[in-house]
Amino acid sequence: MQRYICKTCGVQYGESTEVPVHCLICEEERQYVAPTGQTWTTLDEMKKESFRNEINLEEAGLYSVKTVPEFAIGQTAYLVQNDGFNLLWDCITFLDEKTINEINRLGGVDAIALSHPHYYSTQVEWAETFDAPIYIHEDDREWVTRKSDYIVFWSGESLELHNGLTIHRLGGHFKGGAVLEWKAGYDGKGILLSGDIIQVVADREWVSFMYSYPNLIPLPASKVKEMAAATAGFKFERLYNAFHRVVKENANERVQKSAERYVKALEGRLFDT
C-alpha cells in the first residue's frame, strides 16, 4: 500500500495498491494535467532524491518553509509564532527528519490552516507528525484527497485560532478560499497571509484575483468587490503570498486599489479601444 503524490500539484492521496489514474485536483479547470501526462511519486521516493526544505526567518515571528529544488506548484508555507502558539499556514509536500527537527526546535506546530485545495499537499503527514489539527473551510470539503480525523472543517466567514490570529473565508479562487489575518505581525501593524486567494503581482505594488491562474480565467467583478470589501476591515499593512512575494507597506490600501483596477478592466473602463 502506498500514498501516492501527484507530481503536478503535489497533493497526496490515501493508501492504494495501484498508482491512481486520475488526479481530482489537476483534472479540474483551475489546475491542469501536465502535457506529458499524469505522473506520481511517494514521500519515500522523494526522500531518496535531492529535495530539501529551506526554513528562513522572514521577520519577527514569521518563518518561510520551501522545498528546493522546486516541486509541483512550488508554493511556500509559513510558520507563524503568535504568543506561544505556532501555526503552519498552507503546506508543502516534502517532509523529512531534518525539517521535523528544525520545526521542533522552533516550538513545533500547534495547528495547520489552509488557504485552498492546491496546497493541501501532504497535510495529513504534517498533522500526524506534529499532532496538530488541520483547519479547512467546509466549502472545500469535496477536494480533500486523504481523509483524516485531524481535519477540522470550519464554517462561517471567520475563525479566530489564537489571540488575533484569524482565518477568513474570502472565496474567489475556491469557494472556501481563505486568508490569514495576523494582527500582531509586522510590529503590531498586521500581516495578511493570502496564499493566492489574493495574488501579489510582479512589481509588488499591486495584487490580483483569479479563478484559475494557469488557465487565466478571471473572477467576476461582483466577487472581487466582495473580497475587497471584506479585506478592508482586516488589520494588515504587509501581505505575503504563496510564492514569497511581499507587499511590504500599505498592503490593505493596495488591495483596495488593485480591486478597483481589476473591476474597471472587467467592465471595459480601463482601456482606450
SS3 readout for the chain: CEEEEECCCCCEEEEECCCCCCCCCCCCCCCCCCCCCCCEECHHHHHCCCCEEEEEEEECCEEEEEEECCCCCCCCEEEEEECCEEEEECCCCCCCHHHHHHHHHCCCCCEEECCCHHHCCCHHHHHHHHCCCEEEEHHHHHHCCCCCCCEEEECCCEEEEECCEEEEECCCCCCCCEEEEECCHHHHCCEEECCCCCEECCCCCCEECEEECCCCEECCHHHHHHHHHHHCCCCCCEEECCCCCEECCCHHHHHHHHHHHHHHHHCCCCCCC
Confidence (pLDDT) at 264? 95
pLDDT tens column, 210-251: 999 999 999 999 999 999 999 999 999 999 999 999 999 999
Per-residue pLDDT at 272? 67
The 10s digit of each residue's pLDDT in 76-116 is: 999 999 999 999 999 999 999 999 999 999 999 999 999 99
Q: pLDDT value at position 273?
A: 58
Cβ–Cβ < 8 Å for 179, 195: yes
Residue type, 266: L
What is the pLDDT at residue 269? 85
Residue 271 clears pLDDT 80, i.e. is over it: no
What distances in angstroms separate CA 79 from CA 171, 180, 239, 259, one per listed residue? Answer: 23, 12, 15, 28
Q: 268 pLDDT band (50/70/90 cuts)? A: confident
Reduce the secondary structure of 101-145 to three states and give it as a string.
HHHHHCCCCCEEECCCHHHCCCHHHHHHHHCCCEEEEHHHHHHCC
> pLDDT tens for residues 124-154?
999 999 999 999 999 999 999 999 999 999 9
